Each structure stands twice: as C-alpha cells, then as structure tokens.
Amino acid sequence: MTFPRRILLVNGPNLNLLGSREPEVYGTATLADVERLTAEAAAAEGFEIRAIQSNHEGVLIDAIHAAREDCAGIVINPGGLTHTSVALRDALTGVSLPFAEVHISNVYAREEFRHHSYLHDVAAVRVIGEGVAGYANAVRQLAALIP
C-alpha cells in the first residue's frame, strides 16, 4: 500500500493569536511562522503540509475526516480542546492516521486543568514544551513512523 506524502497540520482555538497572545507563555512566533517551520521540516522528510487553523471544533473535525483521503499523518496542536474534546479524540482515532500532539508550552507546569489530555493515550507522538520548534520535532518523529 502506498501512502500520500502529505501531513495535515491542525491548529486549534486561539492559535491564530500566536505572536501577540501571552508572548511570555507562547513566544513571539506567529501562526504563519509555525506553518512555515512545519512545512520546511516536512519537506526535509519528503512530505508536504496542508495547514488549517480554526476556532471551531466542527471545522477541525471535518478537516481531520478529509485527511484520510490524502494525508499520511496529522500534527495537531488542539489548544484548549486538548482538555475538553472527546469529539476531537474520536475524529483522530476514527481516521486511523498516526498523529502527533504538540503543545508549545509545558502544560504540566501550568494550571492543573491543563494536565489532562484526551489525546495523550492515542497519540503516536507527543511533543510538549519545546516552543514552536516542537512542531518540527513532531514532524520528524511522525515521518519516521510513516512507511
């Protein structure tokens, strides 16, 4: 079986504010910077990136469903949906694509409610607290898992 050489990059709620939202927590890189960094890392591994960001859970779920048609894996920073969304978890497990869960900040060093992830036990890769460089790390680790 051949796999497409594409990875879906999913950024959840409020990540469109990267660069201006709480720079002491998330840094000054913008979402465009993240997408560029991720695309460069993917290209080095022989993949292309299709990126989506939405503040709406259903839009993210629809993109994940569509990924099963032409993507080999998913890199996702679900933002606050990490801690609340069974539906997002179900979408990710339902498409049967390996995925990497990414968090820019160290969620375990923050508020207690951020310590729980609905994705932690089903993610093929988890990258936490590496800043935006974590996206490139996630791509490299995920690419190594894709035939």
Active site amino acids: 26, 103
User: Is 77 marked as binding a ligand?
Assistant: yes
Residue 89 is assigned to a ligand binding site: no
Residue 105 marked as a ligand binder: yes
Burial bucket for residue 2 (CB in 10 Å: 0-12, 13-18, 19+): exposed
Q: Is 11 annotated as a binding residue?
A: no
Measured CA to CA, the distance from residue 147 to residue 134 in angstroms comes to 22
Question: 110: closest CA among 51, 26, 32?
Answer: 26
**For residues 104 and 25, what is the distance between their CA atoms, to the nearest angstrom?**
8
64 is in an annotated binding site: no
Residue ranges for the binding site?
77, 83, 90, 104-105, 114
Residues annotated in a binding site for substrate = 77, 83, 90, 104-105, 114
